[in-house]
């Protein structure tokens, strides 16, 4: 009689354990980290933008995520002219930094 009671309890315990592990695994492995669902409409001040990243291809809208001096992250439309100008300016600045660090190392 005792062995008949243990089997259903063990089955329920294993099922609960497996389902909780499956939920934890699915939360971390699917989909992009950050997506844009709305864009800022006014141009951002170039000097207040610290860095930028493009959103993942899996996002519903293609966007650029600007990290600002105050820590905020703002989404912008990558096809807008002021957005491309900020990106170009940040790329130039980064290239200048890399170039100066390479020339210091070779001295």
The better pLDDT of the pair 71, 8 is held by 71
Residue 11 has pLDDT above 90, yes or no: no
34-49 CB burial, b ≥16 within 10 A, e <16: ebbeebeeeeeeeeeb
State pLDDT tens for residues 73-90: 999 999 999 999 999 999
CATH architecture of 33-106: Beta Barrel (2.40)
pLDDT for 73? 95
Contact between 90 and 49 under an 8 Å Cβ cutoff? The reply is: yes
Judge if pTM exceeds 0.85.
Answer: no
Average pLDDT over residues 3-9: 59
Q: Which two three-digit tokens encode residue 21?
A: 């592990």
Q: Which of 65, 63, 70, 67 is nearest to 50 (CA)?
A: 67
pLDDT for 65? 96
Q: Rounded mean pLDDT of the chain?
A: 79
State pLDDT tens for residues 18-37: 555 454 444 445 667 889 99
Q: Where are the domains of the chain?
A: 1-30, 33-106
Residue 1 has pLDDT above 50, yes or no: no
């Amino acid at each position: 009689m005792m062995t008949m009671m243990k089997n259903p309890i063990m089955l329920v315990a294993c099922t609960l354990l497996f389902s909780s592990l499956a939920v934890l695994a699915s939360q971390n492995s699917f989909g992009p980290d950050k997506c844009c669902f709305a864009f800022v409409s006014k141009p951002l001040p170039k000097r207040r933008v610290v860095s930028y990243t493009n959103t993942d291809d899996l996002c519903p809208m293609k966007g650029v995520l600007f990290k600002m001096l105050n820590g905020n992250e703002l989404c912008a439309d990558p096809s807008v002219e002021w957005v491309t100008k900020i990106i170009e300016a940040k790329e130039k600045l980064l290239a200048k930094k890399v170039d100066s660090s390479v020339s210091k190392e070779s001295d």
